[in-house]
Amino acid sequence: MKHVRAVWQHFDHQADIGVRGIGPSLEAAFEQTALALMAVMADLETIRPQQPLELSLEAASDEQLLVDWLSELLFKVAVDKQLFSRFEVRIQERRLRATAWGETIDVPRHQPAVEVKGISYSQLQVAQRQDGLWVAQCVVDV
């Protein structure tokens, strides 16, 4: 398989927004989905990856792990007032260990655009495509 760069995307979903990560590994897809989530709320270019945050999660399925991962990040945004622009994810046997780098929200600089209220199970998918790339996606409630 040729080297493919991981990417994140948004996709339309009625009044909400879909977030999708695509990458050469499950971990890369999760990292890209997290970037897509952050990009719903603010311009990623304005978020400085200064403060590391360690996260650890475990779930019964890859799909539940994705929902829990994004929900934990959303919790940090809502409660700790942090945004993130860099992620390093490690997944082994449905255990996720990750480092997220970001900073405290600076409203004038970050100009938060959309408040994400929650992570939904709508269009939830975690799968490896026939071309070998992994896709991790869901819809976020805005």
Residue ranges of the domains in the chain? 7-141
Q: 7-141 in CATH: which number?
A: 3.55.10.10
Q: Can you tell me the distance from the alpha carbon of 12 to that of 14, in angstroms, rounded to the nearest whole number?
A: 6
End-to-end distance of the chain based on CA atoms, in angstroms? 37
47/104 Cα distance (integer angstroms): 9
Give per-residue pLDDT as tens, 9-30: 777 666 688 999 999 999 999 9
Output the CA angle 101-103-109, nearest 5 degrees: 130
How confident is the model over 85-139, as pLDDT tens digits?
A: 999 999 999 999 999 999 999 999 999 888 899 999 989 999 999 999 999 999 9
